[in-house]
Structure 1
Amino acid sequence: MPRAGAGRVDPPAVAFHHATKRFGSSIAVNDVSVAVEEGSFVTVIGSSGCGKTTLLKMVNALVMPDEGSVFVQGRATSELDPVELRRSVGYAIQGSVLFPHLTVEQNIAFVPSLLNKHDRRRTDAAVKKWMDLVDLPSTMRARYPAELSGGQAQRVGIARALAASPDILLMDEPFSAVDAITRSSLQDELKRIHERTGITVLFVTHDIDEAFYLGDRVLVMEAGRAVQYASPHDILSAPAVPFVDRLVAKRRAAYLS
């Protein structure tokens, strides 16, 4: 719930108000209205091409809605400087996409060094903090991305996304390129980070089990529409539409038993 203090109610961390996005004749996101409260972990799931990634990119103004609005901490993205917005919102995507010519330390320090300017001590402290939190040993600071395993590279990507201490973290299928054992470990790390930091997370995935394990709320997308937004338990026990019912049918007995 929004926090109240001295008669004031804080706005949601992210809010979509009738947001619609078209690419030519195709509607990627269709009239979505959803509010993501501060500190929530929201997983976004649906079939390929249902608009999940487009919805996520609206939050940091990589994509702007054709109709409706997107608000970040109460301010419309259309009114914000997109560069400043992107520096304040962490973004981690599939495969981590690290800068290949920079070391682990330089990758993680990239945004903090822009924000801290010449304050090297603050930047170093941020690098150490987030390397520790994602379980990366300090001996890896001087390595380059080509010298990392898939799981290590993904941890560096998460640390880089968090290094500027954003209030909001966007994640677009960040674990889909790693093996099942590494993926499970990264999921546990991310849950721990969320619990320790209270950051608001929007996490796109194709994996229904990952969505239910990580999310305290799950947004189900179908053909560009938000067809259900609820807790994992409520989605399993009371699917809102036939698509959601089919999506969770094989998991219902296991999760609700």
Structure 2
Amino acid sequence: MANEQTATMAAVAFEHVTKRFGDVTAIDDVNLAVEEGAFVTIIGSSGCGKTTLLKTVNALVMPDEGRVLVHGRATSKLNPIELRRSVGYAIQGSVLFPHLTVRQNIGYVPSLLNQRDRVRTHEAVEKWMDLVGLPAELAERFPAELSGGQAQRVGIARALAASPDILLMDEPFSAVDAITRTSLQDELKHIHQQTGITVLFVTHDIDEALDLGDRVLVMEGGRAVQYTTPGEVLHAPATAFVERLVTRKQSVYAR
């Protein structure tokens, strides 16, 4: 009963989720709950199942076994289009609509939700441009006229513009330079503090995982091998793999 109650109260819950692609098991019996308002970073080696797990939340991937719950409701029982409109999704490279301006890209989903209420859509665009640090003068530019960092900010703003309470991010900052990446990380921390949104953030970077997340999920071979606070991952790695992952960071964080 306690596990059922935890899953019901969680923003996202994975109940013994397994996903296979042919003979390859991408996700292997993942069972955990993400609390409302948590910032969860998901880290592991390439091919460990991070992105596949993320995609089960918005039903881009459906599990072969187990189920995924979003606010207590199984994704298999939800309309996938409606689910995706209510869950923000930002990926590497932003993937903007090239024929739409910044304003139109950010306002795309709000315009669908608000229908003819253009004022409400306009307000949403202005709000999120400001929160992600985009100057107003960029609103009428097209994606080809933006820098990499600006385009990534537009992608984040677009993911947030429908005011979702869950944001999925798949290595969104990996294609930008180090200075821009630090700036984007700071903006994301600010947005999380301001909105209380639940964030699931996939990364290959242990620094990013430990610095951004208030919870860290470490995956290895499709399995969730540790799910805890950054400090616990550093001071009490659960497996030899986790220990190797954090060894070079321990001398900094353990002071």
TM-score by length of 1: 0.96
Q: Deviations over 1:212-243 (max 9, x none)?
A: 00000000000000000000000100001110
Partner of 2:69: 71
Q: Deviations over 1:153-201 (max 9, x none)?
A: 0000000000000000000000000000000000000000000000000
Partner of 1:12: 10
Matched-pair contact (CA < 8 Å) for 2:101–2:142: yes
Partner of 2:3: none
SS in 2 for 1:55: helix
Matched-pair contact (CA < 8 Å) for 2:189–2:212: yes
Q: 1:187 to 1:63 in 2, by over 3 A?
A: same
> 1:229 is aligned with what amino acid?
Y
Partner of 1:33: 31
Once the two structures are TM-superposed, the CA of residue 34 in structure 1 deviates from its matched residue by 1.2
Once the two structures are TM-superposed, the CA of residue 9 in structure 1 deviates from its matched residue by 10
* Whole-angstrom distance in 2 between the partners of 1:15 and 1:153: 31
* Whole-angstrom distance in 2 between the partners of 1:105 and 1:188: 23
Q: Name structure 1 gaps, 5 residues minimum.
A: 1-7
1:59-98 aligned within 5 A? 59-98=57-96
1:166-177 aligned within 5 A? 166-177=164-175
Partner of 2:53: 55
SS in 1 for 2:217: strand
Residue number among 246, 249, 252 corresponding to 1:248 in the alignment: 246
* Whole-angstrom distance in 2 between the partners of 1:15 and 1:246: 28
SS in 1 for 2:99: coil
Once the two structures are TM-superposed, the CA of residue 59 in structure 1 deviates from its matched residue by 0.1
* Whole-angstrom distance in 1 between the partners of 2:248 and 2:164: 37
Residue number among 107, 131, 142 corresponding to 2:140 in the alignment: 142
* Whole-angstrom distance in 2 between the partners of 1:172 and 1:86: 15
* Whole-angstrom distance in 1 between the partners of 2:44 and 2:200: 14
Once the two structures are TM-superposed, the CA of residue 48 in structure 1 deviates from its matched residue by 0.1
Counting aligned pairs with the same residue, the percent is 75
1:90-239 aligned within 5 A? 90-239=88-237
Give me the CA root mean square deviation.
1.1
Once the two structures are TM-superposed, the CA of residue 126 in structure 1 deviates from its matched residue by 0.2
* Whole-angstrom distance in 1 between the partners of 2:32 and 2:171: 20
Matched-pair contact (CA < 8 Å) for 2:106–2:154: yes
SS in 1 for 2:9: coil
Residue number among 22, 41, 44 corresponding to 1:43 in the alignment: 41
* Whole-angstrom distance in 1 between the partners of 2:192 and 2:53: 21
Bigger mean CA offset, 41-50 vs 8-17: 8-17
Once the two structures are TM-superposed, the CA of residue 138 in structure 1 deviates from its matched residue by 1.0
Once the two structures are TM-superposed, the CA of residue 253 in structure 1 deviates from its matched residue by 1.2
Once the two structures are TM-superposed, the CA of residue 10 in structure 1 deviates from its matched residue by 6.2
Length, aligned pairs only = 250
Once the two structures are TM-superposed, the CA of residue 208 in structure 1 deviates from its matched residue by 0.2
> 2:40 is aligned with what amino acid?
V
> 1:204 is aligned with what amino acid?
V
Partner of 1:5: none
* Whole-angstrom distance in 1 between the partners of 2:56 and 2:39: 17
Once the two structures are TM-superposed, the CA of residue 25 in structure 1 deviates from its matched residue by 0.4
> 1:115 is aligned with what amino acid?
L
Residue number among 21, 24, 28 corresponding to 1:23 in the alignment: 21
Matched-pair contact (CA < 8 Å) for 2:7–2:69: no
